[in-house]
Amino acid sequence: MKSSKTNIRSLNLTQLEEWFIQSGDKKFRANQVYDWLWKKGVQSIEAMSNLSKETRNKLSESFEFPALQLNKTQLSADGTMKIRFITNDQHFIEGVIIPADDRITACVSSQIGCSLTCAFCATGKMKRERNLYFYEIFDQVAMLNRIAEKQYGRGLTNIVFMGMGEPLLNYSQVTEAIEKITSPDSLGMSPRRITVSTAGIAKMIRKLGDDQVRYRLALSLHAANDEKRSKIMPINDENNLESLITALNYFFQKTKSRISLEYILFKNVNDSMEDAKQLVRLARRIPCRVNIIEYNPVEGTGFEKASEENTQRFANALEQSGITVTIRHSRGKDIDAACGQLANKD
Ligand code: SF4
């Protein structure tokens, strides 16, 4: 049965103040509650320890607090952590923490499952159950931040929306979550350290430009010609490369923010010198940098990772043509936490 209580996180500060005044309590308590909700990022009314038991009881009578709960934590040999969360309606989602010398990055999910069916991806084989709510996306960041502080002695510095789901198909909730994550009244993270990664929805990329978002944008490209890309990523049928190039240039014109092109190298699929040439031609048409990503084979997909030698040759060809390129070695392979591997496996 659906609860008749209001979700406490749907109220803004003014509404919380009104609630306290109406229930005969002090207005300033709203600030305390707001702090617990968005600055400390707790997942229950019970955890608001500087409120009296009576106030907490009153809050619990009026409000519900649907939140993610920690379900499972796995630590990789390379220090990467995969964290499984359970939603209030009993779905699993996953987030990953990737520590490096100069940063700690959290990779978060935006949907439960995914409706797109990228051929190389484990999440794409799952049914899309539903979009995540903004507070569930926020919970991932707040909880991963606490875990990072405990595990590595420092909090998150960067966030990438590269976990389960296509963030631009859940735009309003992703936007609201990022507003909270970046607000000075909340976690106060810099939007320049947040990257939203899309499989490529031209209309939504243009919308990001119109909305002049302050976070960074990455496109999962993975092939620089339409025929090949449509085979790997069926979304390319309705959002071909020309439409994406136009949309990305529009985004740049509106935001002045350079785009990252993500390119997973698959053996004998997109790792030839001809593929590199096509990628160079495409990359020259967009203000961008290219990230070459090492693939972690996902069972049953038939895709394999390109050889080390080919990866280097491919990157060199780009570099020699004046493209800014970085090779990203995959992390957390032993716990299925790498790109495209998130599928709630045990
Ligand atoms: S790669 Fe991303 S968009 Fe494609 S199926 Fe996987 S989760 Fe969905």
- Are residue 117 and residue 156 in the same domain, yes or no? yes
State yes or no: pLDDT of 330 exceeds 90: no
Instruction: Assess if residue 345 is contained within a domain.
Output: no
Which tens digits make up the pLDDT trace of 151-200? Answer: 999 999 999 999 999 999 999 999 999 999 999 999 999 999 999 999 99
Per-residue pLDDT tens digits for 30-71: 999 999 999 999 999 999 999 999 999 999 999 999 999 999
Do β-strands 69-75 and 81-86 pair in parallel, antiparallel, or remain unpaired? Answer: antiparallel
Quick check: is 342 in a domain?
Answer: no
Q: Residue of the nearest CA to atom 5 in ligand 1?
A: 124
CA distance 136 to 197: 18
Tell me if 185 sits within 8 A of 41, measured CB to CB: no
Contact, 74 vs 90, CB < 8 A? no
What pLDDT score was predicted for residue 232?
A: 96
Residue 345 has pLDDT above 70, yes or no: no
Q: Looking at the predicted structure, is the pLDDT value of residue 329 above 90?
A: no
How many Å lie between the centroid of ligand 1 and the Cα of residue 1?
A: 32
Ligand 1 neighbour 269 (Cβ under 6 A): no
Q: What is the dihedral of CA 181, 183, 189, 195, to 10 degrees?
A: 60
Domain count within the chain? 2
User: What is the per-residue DSSP string for 245-291?
Assistant: HHHHHHHHHHH--PEEEEEEEBTTTS-SHHHHHHHHHHHTTSSEEEE
Confidence of residue 140 (pLDDT cuts 50, 70, 90): very high
193 & 286 share domain:
yes
- How far apart (Å, rounded) are the C-alpha atoms in residues 316 and 159? 28
124 lines ligand 1 (CB under 6 A): yes
Residue 199, ligand 1, Cβ within 6 A: yes
Mutate to test the pocket of ligand 1, among 94, 96, 107, 123 (most ligand atoms within 8 A of CB): 123
CATH number at residue 103: 3.20.20.70
Indicate whether residue 123 lines ligand 1 (CB < 6 A): yes
Q: Are residues 20 and 141 in the same domain?
A: no
Is ligand 1 within 6 A of the CB of residue 262?
no
Q: Identify whether residues 57 and 129 lie together within a single domain.
A: no
Q: Does residue 1 lie in a domain region?
A: no
Residues 35 and 110 grouped into a single domain: no
pLDDT higher at 146 or 123: 146
In a domain, 162, yes or no: yes
Whether residue 341 is predicted with pLDDT greater than 80 in this model: the reply is no
Picking from 81-95, 136-150, 270-284, 319-333, which range would have the lowest pLDDT averaged per residue? 319-333
Where in the sequence is the domain holding 218, given as residue range(s)? 69-335
User: Is pLDDT above 80 for 333?
Assistant: no
Report yes or no on 180 lying in a domain.
Answer: yes
Judge if the beta carbon of residue 94 lies within 6 A of ligand 1: no
Check whether residue 218 and residue 138 sit in a common domain. Answer: yes
Q: Is residue 28 part of a domain?
A: yes
Residue where a domain terminates, one of 45, 64, 83: 64
Sheet holding 69-75, edge to edge: 69-75, 81-86, 92-99, 104-107, 158-161, 194-198, 216-220, 259-265, 288-294, 325-328
73: three-class secondary structure by DSSP: strand
Residue 283 pLDDT > 60: yes
Final residue of a structural domain among 30, 45, 64? 64
56 and 73 share a domain? no
Residue 188 lies in a domain: yes
Rg (CA), the chain: 21
87-116: average pLDDT: 95
The mean per-residue pLDDT over the stretch 325-331 comes to: 90
Residue 73: CB partners within 8 Å, gap ≥ 6?
81, 82, 83, 84, 147
Residue 54 maps to which CATH number? Answer: 1.10.150.530
Indicate if 39 and 109 belong to the same structural domain.
no
Looking at residue 96, its pLDDT comes to: 95
Instruction: Indicate which atom in ligand 1 lies nearest the CA of residue 114.
Output: 8
CB count within 10 Å of CB 179 equals 13
Select the more confidently predicted residue: 125 or 275: 275
Same domain, 98 and 60: no
The answer to whether residue 20 is domain-embedded is yes
278 C-alpha to ligand 1 centroid (Å): 23
22 & 87 share domain: no
pLDDT reported for residue 340: 64
Give yes or no: residues 180 and 107 share one domain: yes
Distance (Å) from CA 257 to ligand 1 centroid: 23
β partners of residue 197: 218
Helix, strand, or coil here: 341? coil
20 and 166, same domain (yes or no): no
Overall size of the chain counted in residues: 346
Residue finishing a domain among 26, 49, 64: 64
Q: What are phi and psi of 254, to 5 degrees?
A: -85, -30
